[in-house]
Amino acid sequence: MPFTKVENSMVETIDASKVTGIVSDDRFPAALPAVDGSALTNVASGGSNGKILQVIHTNGQSSWNISNSTYDQWISTACYGTITPSSASSKVIIMATQPILVNQPYEKRISTTIFRGTPSIGNVASGTNVGRSNGLNLYATSGTNNAYNYNHYCTMPMVVQDSPSTTSATTYFIAWKNWNSGMSSHADPSAAQANMILMEVA
């Protein structure tokens, strides 16, 4: 007669490779007991990696309408935020949106990016470009060069990861530049506001 139940006293050791098949659901209680973390083994250290430690949100200053007629120079906008990492090993995720107005956008290009440093609103940006070296690009080529191709509005979204390697207060700001000579553009036009979210990640 086959066994339907194995008593504890009948089992000494079982090779894990011999345990096969599927145990039916009714062999488990409806609610499993809580697991005590002290009983876990072979768990890699640094289990907090990926945890969001803090979030900072800031808006651009809506009173600014910064004109940029320079060529191939990063100019500071009025949107910036400061975060103080709790650990030098933390990452900082920067998410931002920047409204831009491009005058006469036909075959013209602008870019936006994120800098780590001290903003100088409306002036040449100084610090470290933590985004792409050429930034996020908007390039308008459609249509023809006529009156209908003036005053192109857009909102540029950006997501950047940085490793500041410090526990000191760190400031990030948005910058943008014109790629073509003889063109102009504006940050935060018509009282539009940029936004920035800074997240410290373990």
Tokens of 5: 């139940």
Does the pLDDT value for residue 23 go beyond 70? Answer: no
Selected residue with higher pLDDT from 146 and 177: 177
pLDDT at 200: 98
Residue 88's pLDDT band (cuts 50, 70, 90):
very high
pLDDT at 181: 85
Residue 76 included in any domain: yes
Q: How far is CA 132 from CA 40, 97, 114, 125, in A?
A: 42, 16, 9, 15
pLDDT in tens, 49-61: 789 999 999 998 7
Structural domain that includes position 69? 52-201
- The stretch 20-28 carries a mean pLDDT of 61
Selected residue with higher pLDDT from 152 and 45: 152
pLDDT at 137: 75
Residue 92 included in any domain: yes
Does the pLDDT value for residue 166 go beyond 80? Answer: yes
Residue 107's pLDDT band (cuts 50, 70, 90):
confident
Residue 133 included in any domain: yes
Q: What is the mean pLDDT of the chain?
A: 82
Residue 24 included in any domain: no
Residue 21's pLDDT band (cuts 50, 70, 90):
low
Residue 174 included in any domain: yes
Q: What share of the chain is helix, strand, coil (3-state, %, to 5)?
A: 10, 40, 50
Residue 25 included in any domain: no
- The stretch 70-95 carries a mean pLDDT of 96
DSSP 80-141: EEEE--SSTT-EEEEEEEEEEEEES-TTEEEEEEEEES---TTSB--SEE-S-TT-EEEEE-
Total domains in the fold of the chain: 1
Residue 46 included in any domain: no
pTM, entire model: 0.72
Long-range Cβ contacts of 4-11 (<8 Å, 24+ apart):
none
Q: Which of 70-74, 120-124, 143-147 has the lowest mean pLDDT?
A: 143-147
pLDDT at 61: 78
Selected residue with higher pLDDT from 38 and 117: 117
Q: Which CATH number characterizes residue 62's domain?
A: 2.60.120
Residue 180 included in any domain: yes
